[in-house]
Amino acid sequence: MTDLLITAERFPIRGRFTIARGSKTEAAVVTVELRDGAHVGRGECVPYGRYGESVEGVVDQLAALQKLIAEGLRREDLMTVLPPGAARNALDCAMWDIDAKRAEMRVYEMAGLPAPQPVVTAYTLSLDTPEAMAQAARESGHDLLKLKLGTEGDLARLTAIRAAVPQARLIVDANEGWTAENLEAHLAACAEVGVELVEQPLPAADDAALAQIARPVPVCADESAHGLDSLDALAGRYDALNIKLDKTGGLTEAILLARAAQAAGLDIMVGCMVGTSLAMAPALLLAPLARFVDLDGPLLLATDRDPALRYEGSRVYPPEPALWG
């Protein structure tokens, strides 16, 4: 019999994490453990209010499955009992973890994925004044920076940051904060300073303008892209999609989505919510399929789990089995 343990946890953020929709000072996560007496499998998710999720709601979703899990619910059947989202992500990743331990294999081997290698991850700069973001960029020491934009003053922010770090690679994430009226001007400014990718410039429900203009910088879907059923709607509007396990509902559907996106000619970013190393570890298995990796969640926290992922400079290293997988 397999037992399910569900824990709501909070991890303080170093300082404050700010995007166009607001700020937070802690990461609220839900952790799942599956125990069969000989093995333990773990997973973590980050419930996200933008998608109608809460910690309490996710805990309730998972608790409702106690009986099914005790009776032997398999990972292959999980997609039929939970919708895509945070709850399914935590449970799916825990199932991968315990299945790998039972089989005495690594998850990437079981999934037919390449062995993960150290990879450059983006480092996120919170939305702030042009001067503050330029200073943060100078002090970051990272090769690939992700700039949170999406409010008045973004053109000044771009100029200030590029002047501060002329050699850094830049990604922009507007978090749905631009409009059809200012879209072309903002994309042109991004192209001028050498931005390599722009994430979700328009609201997910109002992004038709992306198909009607030239895109001098590739545009990546985030809030517009969830699971497999959202892929067709991206055609003509986006050049890439940000795959986050909390959106797809776990590694299982994330792998399917990544392969379908490649077949559709879309580039892949593998991204994250602000969570601990336990949430990043499964996502790292998608890094060999991705053009961009944005798995810096633990770097934004004041404290991480132990054991944790190893970050050195701009690189993050694959997880050890003691953490996950």
- Please write the tens of the pLDDT for every residue from 152-167: 999 999 999 999 999 9
Strand partners, 301: 13
Give tens-digit pLDDT for 17-52: 878 777 889 999 999 999 999 999 999 999 998 899
Please enumerate in sequence order all residues whose Cβ is within 8 A of that of 257, keeping only pairs 6 or more positions apart, or say none.
227, 228, 231, 241, 243, 248
pLDDT higher than 90, residue 60: yes
Whole-number pLDDT of residue 147: 97
Both structure tokens of 50:
């933008």
- Distance, in Å, from the CA atom of 220 to the CA atom of 241, rounded to the nearest integer, reads 5
Radius of gyration of the chain (CA): 19
Distances (CA, A) of 314 to 118, 274, 317: 10, 17, 10
Report DSSP letters for 299-313, one per residue. Answer: GGBSS--SS---EET
pLDDT value at residue 24 = 85
Query: Is the confidence at residue 15, as pLDDT, over 90?
Result: no
- The residue with tokens 């994490």 is 17
> If you average pLDDT over every residue of the chain, what do you get?
96
pLDDT over threshold 90, residue 298 = yes
Positions of E strands within 46-161: 119-120, 123-125, 144-148
Using CB atoms within 10 Å of the CB of residue 247, give its burial: 0 to 12 exposed, 13 to 18 middle, 19+ buried. buried
CA 230-231-233 angle, 5° bins: 75
Q: What is the pTM of this model?
A: 0.95
pLDDT of res. 17: 85
What is the per-residue pLDDT for 1?
A: 81
The predicted pLDDT at position 84 comes to 95
Cβ-based neighbours of 27, under 8 Å, separated by 6 or more: 10, 11, 12, 13, 46, 273, 274, 275, 276, 297, 301
The pLDDT of residue 320: 96
pLDDT of residue 91: 98
Summarize the confidence of residues 246-263 as an average pLDDT.
97
Residues in contact with 20: Cβ distance below 8 Å, sequence separation at least 6, in sequence order: 127, 148, 149, 150, 151, 174, 175, 176, 177
Question: What is the C-alpha separation between 30 and 87, in angstroms, rounded?
Answer: 8
CA dist 14 and 5 (Å) reads: 28
The set of catalytic residues is 148, 244
- Between 22 and 77, the more confident residue is 77
**What average pLDDT does this structure show over 264-269?**
97
Q: What is the pairing mode between strands 3-19 and 195-199? A: unpaired
pLDDT digit string, tens, across residues 97-126: 999 999 999 999 999 999 999 999 999 999
% pLDDT > 90, the chain: 94
Distance CA 204, CA 170 (A): 23
With 90 as the cut, is the pLDDT of residue 197 above it? Answer: yes
Quote the CA–CA distance of 244 and 115 in Å, as a whole number. 19
Q: Do 173 and 151 meet the contact criterion of CB atoms below 8 Å apart?
A: no
First to last CA, the chain: 21
